[in-house]
Chain A
Amino acid sequence: MAVINHEKCIGCETCIPYCPVNAFKKVENQKKVYVDQDICTKCNVCIRGNVCPVDAIEDDNYETFDSTFQHVLSDPTTSLKGSSVPGRGTEEMKTNDVTARFKKGEYGICIDMGRPGIGVRLRDAEKVAMAVAAAGMELEGPECTPLAQLMTDLNTGKLQDDVLDLNILSIIVEGKCSPDKVGDVLKALQKVEKEIDTVFSLGIVARVDENGHSPIIDTIEELGIPKPVRGKLNVGLGRPLID
């Protein structure tokens, strides 16, 4: 986690705008800056970016599971134990042509909590996970997605009580559902989005036909959700290909 060495800090405030979650604060009545550790997500952009002209920002130890988890999820240059994927530790649909993680006739749901640029307390991630699980989304397990490592019950999306206040730059609630449940899951998201103190970016993963189309677009339009204009396409070049 980033801490300011006040022996070195000259109070120039150069570092303040670099923090994605505004954790750098002025010390009242002093020409110094400090890092509010309750807000800091341990993303280390301030350290990697060498933003301090006098090298006063120092990296403290990660002694607890909580601080390590925060750091790994918020800093894309590190990996979570048990995953070879840097950052938030999920391959999502990028290798779906060789893993078939998302099969024909099912949809993947990627709820990118805290994004863009706001951050998320795990309390809000739990609210969303529980809402979609109750609506019929099958949450992904700890072998696929980091948030599941903190769940006490994968069927309900409940998290450990002692992690709920953790602030993370972003974390993904991931899961799958059948076509007959996807409408209920989207409706649950339309409801729970009004109950959280952050934002999320939503992605829906679908196998597409030879023209790049999926019937999920019709469901989206029926629910009054704006038709997507942007996407990420796996072009099917992985081998051995699972069609």
Chain B
Amino acid sequence: MTHSLHRYGTVESQKHDFVWFMYQAKGVNDVNSVEKGLQFIEVVEKYGSENWGDVRTGCKLEHGVEKIKENLTDRSRLRGVFTSKEQVLNFLKDIKERDLGQSVIIAGLLDEIIDACKEAGLKPHTMNYSLGIWGKKELLPEDDVLAITTMCGHHMISSGIVEKNLKLVREGKKSAEKAAKEMAVLCPCGIFNQVRAEKILKEGQEQ
């Protein structure tokens, strides 16, 4: 899956959008993943991950921390978002110290994630570079819509529902916060950044 890589939007907007992952490889290090997953949850909660989840249960915003913990299995892959580089740095330092043996991945602006990795004393291993969108780009929606839909890389948030929410927020019929959270629960992975979405919706309101 590359569902966290190709987020769209201005560099400034993406400075507040990082995705973290905990992954185990089938047949390599997938034993006792539940205990390790619980430790990951402890760490990301400590540093205030705004949204996270396990795709088999759903996201924290919809189901809460305890339900996701209860449903963890050795096959669970946890993932979520941070909104600052400082959170990413603290998370990496803490996870490094615990040495859990799971693969850890951070998606975001290249300069920011490489800096955070090095500052945490880690040696970067493998990068997936986003070369953007190709093909029949005239089919794409407007930039502000795309900035929101691409925060759920599995496309569970349609451009239609983003456009509807932008309109409702602009008309004062729904708050940006409510609209952002409603859209976040459609993304079962928990990597939708509702904080950034709320900001984009508010910018749409001002326009």
Contact = CB atoms under 8 A, between A and B. Distances in A.
Interface of A: 16-22, 43, 45, 48-49, 76-77, 84-88, 90-99, 102, 108, 110, 112, 115-119, 169-170, 172, 189, 193, 196-212, 214, 216-217, 220, 225-226, 228-240, 243
A196 B136 contact: yes
Given A93-B128, A95-B23, A238-B25, 16 more contacts: A87-B154, A94-B103, A95-B24, A172-B2, A199-B134, A199-B135, A200-B134, A211-B114, A214-B129, A231-B5, A231-B128, A232-B5, A233-B125, A234-B124, A239-B29, A239-B101
A235 B130 contact: no
Given A199-B133, A212-B117, A231-B110, A20 B128 contact: no
Interface string B118-150: 101011111111111111110111000010011
B156 A238 contact: no
Contact of A17 (B137, B154, B160): B160
Nearest to B4: A232
Describe A's contact surface by its main secondary structure. loop
Contact of A233 (B11, B113, B139): B113
B102 A238 contact: yes
Contacts of A189: 134
Contacts of A172: 1-2
A232 B117 contact: no
B1 A85 contact: yes
B118 A77 contact: no
B159 interface: yes
A51 to B, nearest CB: 9
11 contacts: A16-B160, A77-B56, A91-B23, A93-B128, A102-B126, A115-B6, A202-B130, A232-B2, A232-B5, A232-B128, A237-B102
A74 to B, nearest CB: 8
B63 interface: no
Contacts, number: 289
Given A98-B103, A199-B134, A238-B103, A17 B189 contact: no
B164 interface: yes
Given A199-B137, A225-B131, A95 B25 contact: yes
A2 to B, nearest CB: 13
Interface string B158-169: 111101100000
B106 interface: yes
* B7, B21, B96, B132: residue with the most chain A Cβ atoms closer than 10 Å: B132
Interface residues of B, number: 79
Nearest to B158: A20
Contacts of B195: none
B155 A20 contact: yes
A232 B131 contact: no
Given A199-B134, A200-B134, A232 B127 contact: yes
Given A17-B160, A87-B154, A95-B24, A196 B7 contact: no
A169 B136 CA distance: 16
A97 B103 contact: yes
Contacts of A112: 2, 6
Interface in B90-117: 92, 95-96, 99-110, 113-114, 117
